[in-house]
Structure 1
Amino acid sequence: MRFSLTMVREEDLEIAGNQEPPHPQFEDVNLLPVSMGDTSFLLDPDDPSHNCDCQYNEMETDSAYSTAVVKLYAERKDLFLKSFLLGKYVCPSIGPSGIQILLEDTMSAKISIYSYIIVPIKKQLGVPVLLNFTATDNFFTCTKQAEKRILTLASCDINKLQCISADDNEKWSLVFLMSKSAGGLYRFESALHSGWFIQIMDSDMVNMQKGYLPGYVKPNTFFSLIESETTETIMRYKKS
Structure 2
Amino acid sequence: MAEEYTVSHTGSVLGDEYVTLETNQTSPARRDPIISFECPDKFEKLEYVGDRHPIRFEPRTMESATMADDDTSGALEEAERTVSLEANLQPIAGETEIADQTYPVVEAVNVTQGAEIAPEDLTVDYHTNEVVIPEADVAAGDDVKLYPILTKGTVKWGGKNALNQDQGTLYPWGFPVFRFHDMEQIRAGREITMQGRATWGHNEELELRLESEEQIVWEDADYPGAYVSEIEVDLSITL
- Report the TM-score range of the alignment, normalised by the length of the smaller protein: under 0.3
TM-score of the pair, normalised by structure 2: 0.20
The structure number with the bigger radius of gyration is 1
More strand, by proportion? 1
TM, length-normalised to structure 1: 0.20
